[in-house]
A and B are shown apart, each in its own frame.
Chain A
Amino acid sequence: MRKNCMFLWIMAFLLFGFINPVLAVTTDMYENSDTGYKVIIEDDANLLSYNEEQSLADSMEKLTEYGNIAFKSISKNGYGSASRYAEKYYHETFGKESGTVFLIDMSQRKIYIFSDGQNYKTITKSKAETITDNVYKHASNKEYFECADEAYSQMYTILEGGKIAEPMKYISNALIAVMLALFANFAIFKIATKNRAASVNEQIKECAFSCTHTNPSVRQTGEHRVYSPVSDSSSSGGSSGGGGGSSGGGGGHSF
C-alpha cells in the first residue's frame, strides 16, 4: 500500500516534469572554448526577431567568461511565479554551474534575473533587483530586445567590477580584522581595569543595624481610579518563514 503510494507520487512527478515547458528544445548559440560556458537563447514567447536574436547572442558572448548565460521568454508559466520558473529553468539547463538567466515572463508580465554559482556572488539578489529595476521600462514599451541587451550589458559591468572587487574583499577583511582586534582589546582592558564601586548592600552589611516596629495599623484614606480600557489583548506569535535548500537566487520586476 505504502509502496504503491510512493509509486504514484513518482509517476505524478515525472508526468509533471514532461508537461513542464522547461524541457523545451535548447539551442546553444555559442560555447566559450576557454571556459566551456554557453550562450542559450530560447524565445518561446516570440518576442525577438531573428536578427535581434543574433545581435543579442553577440553581446551575450563576453559574459561566458564568467558563466553560462541564457535568455528565456515564456507566455505560459506552469510554476506560477517568475522567480520559481527561472530557478527551475536554470538548474535544469545548467545544473549547479556558474551562470545567469534573464527571463521575460509574459504571462505574469515580469522580468527576472536568476544567477547561481560564482555569478551569484557578484550578481546577487540585490544586484539583480537593481538591474531589472533599471530595464523594466523597455519591457513596458514592448522593446524586449533593448530590455535584454541593456540587462546583459549591466550584468557584464558588474561581473567585470567583481573582478576588481576581489582585492577589495581582502582590504575589507583586513580592515574588519583590525577593527575587531582593536575593539576586543579595548573591551578586555575596560573590563579588566573596572573599578567597581561597593554596592549599597555591601556598605550596609558593615553597619550596626537594628530595627523594631509595632504591628502596623491600616486606615483607608480614599479611593482613586485608573483608566484601563477592556481589550482582548491576545498577542499573536510571530511566524517565521522557512525555506532554503536551493542555492542561487535573483531578483525581478513587473513591467
Chain B
Amino acid sequence: MFINFFFALKSYGVPVSLHEWITLHHALARNLNDCNLTKFYYVARAILVKNEIYYDKYDMAFLDTFKDIETTDEMLEKILEGLKKVKELHLSEEEKKQIEELDLDQILRNFEEQLKQEHYKNHVGGNKAIGTGGRSTQGAWGYNPAGIRIGQGESRHKRAVQIAEKRSFRNYSNDVTLDTRQMRVALAHLRSLLPIGPEEKLNLDATIDATCKNAGELEFIWESKEKKAAKVILMMDVGGSMTPYARLVERLFSAASSQISRFKHYYFHNCIYQDLWTDIERRESISTQEFLKSEDNDYKLILIGDAEMAPSELTWVNGAIDYWYHNDTPGLAWLQRLRDKFKDSIWMNPLPRRSWGYVQTARMIGGIFPMFELTLDGLDEGVKFLMKGKGKFFN
C-alpha cells in the first residue's frame, strides 16, 4: 500500500509532512515521473526529503515499501489505493486545511481519468504531461548515479530498488561519527546552539547628536553589541587514532569563535593526570592543579575521547599508559576534580553509544561525566545540555 511509504519514511525519522505528501501526488497525477519507478525514486525524494542527511533513511523506507514491486500497473494501483486512504487518516485541523487547499479530489479525478484513458498503460517513454522533448541532450553523458549500467531488457523498476539498495548516502546521515564532510553542517548546528554573536544596532542618541553637529546633515551612528557569551574549554584525547577526532572538534569550535568569548584547548592521552598538555605532541604542559585553582568555573568543559583503556589507567597510581609517565594520583580522581570544578561539562565519544556498556572504563567515566556520541545528533544534544545548564543535575 502506497501510504505505507509515507509511514515508513516517518518511522525511519524522515520529517515528511502531509503537505509534501500531497504535493507528491500532484506530481504523480501529472505524470511528472514519466511512469517510471526510477524517476519516481528521484522525484519523490526531491519533494519529500529536504536534507541530504535523510537520504539514507529515505533509501531504507523505499526498500521496505517497493522492493517487491515489479510493474507499473502494480505501482499505480498502490498509489491510487493509498490516495483514497488519506482522508481516513487522523488529521489535525491544520492538515485538513492543507488537504483542502491542495484539492485532493482533483488529484484523484486526474488520476482516474488518466488511468481510464490508459495513458499509463504500456508506457514506454513518451511523456503526455510535459511533452516528449528533452531526452538526454548530453549524448555522451554516461553518468549513472548508482554506478550500475543497466542492459536494455532489465526492468526499469528493479533499477530504482537497486539504487536504494546501494545506500550511497549512508555517510551523510546524522548518526554516523562526525567527519569532515559534515563540518559545515556541524558548524551550523553549533552556531545556532551557541548564544548570538555581535549585532548591529542604530544608536539613536548618538545619531541625533552627530546630525545636529552636522547642521542637520544626517549621520547614522551604528554600534556593535557584543553578545559573545560562551566560554569553552576543550580537552582532547590525542592518543593515536583519536587525533583526527580531536582536531575536528577543535576546528569546529575555533570556527565558531565569533560566538565564543574565550576558548582554550588542552590535550591528553587516554586520561588526565597532573599535567595538561598545551600542544598536540605533548611536549608543553601546565599543572592540572594550578589550572583547577586559577580557572573560572563558568567555562563549559568538553572532553573528547573514546574512554576506552585499561581500567588500571583510571584507578592505579602510575597507571598512565605512557610508561615514562608517573602519576601519584589515579586518573579517576583527576577526572572527578575536573567534574567538581566545572558543573557544565560533558564527554564526547566517537564510539557508538551501544558499545559503551561493554567497555568498563567507558562505564566508569560515564558515571562521572554525562557522555554523548560524537555524531551530529550527539553534538546537538551535548551542546544543548551544556547551554541549558543541565550539567548541575547530573549525578
The finding on whether chains A and B are genuine partners in a shared complex, rather than unrelated, reads no
